[in-house]
């Protein structure tokens, strides 16, 4: 398992840290791009992928949904991706996903 930072909107003091299996880490760019593409097709009633803002349904790019998708797509029956810590400081020793 390898730890990663997830940073939203360059807010490095509000970083999520996740841990993923090596297979995912080694193909990180591809995996992230696949997740981004999936968001448009995610079930509209799944709150891990969608949020309503001013009456408009918008895709919800969040760590919980990313981990859920990773585990359903890549980790079925294997070692699972997990959230280590949320809303913490950026750790420069980890590779970073920036959204």
Task: Give 38-96 pLDDT, tens digit per residue.
Answer: 988 888 888 788 888 999 988 888 999 999 999 999 987 789 999 999 999 999 999 99
Domain definitions of the chain by residue range:
2-98
Provide the pLDDT for residue 71: 95
Provide the pLDDT for residue 2: 96
Contacts of residue 46, defined as CB under 8 A and 6 or more positions apart, other chains included, come to 65
One-character DSSP codes across 74-96: T-TTSPPPEEEEEEE---TTSEE
Mean pLDDT of 12-39: 94
Between 28 and 58, whose confidence is greater? 28
The DSSP 8-state label assigned to residue 39 in this structure reads G
Give residue 21's pLDDT band: very low, low, confident or very high (50, 70, 90).
Answer: very high
């Amino acid at each position: 398992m390898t730890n990663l930072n997830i940073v939203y909107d360059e807010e490095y003091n509000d970083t999520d840290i996740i841990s993923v299996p090596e297979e995912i880490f080694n193909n990180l760019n591809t995996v992230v791009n696949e997740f981004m593409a999936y968001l448009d097709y995610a079930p509209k009633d799944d709150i891990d992928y969608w949020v309503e803002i001013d009456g408009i349904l918008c895709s919800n790019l969040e760590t919980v949904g990313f981990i859920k998708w990773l585990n359903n797509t890549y980790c079925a029956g294997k070692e699972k991706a997990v959230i280590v810590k949320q809303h913490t400081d950026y750790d420069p020793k980890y590779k970073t996903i920036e959204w």
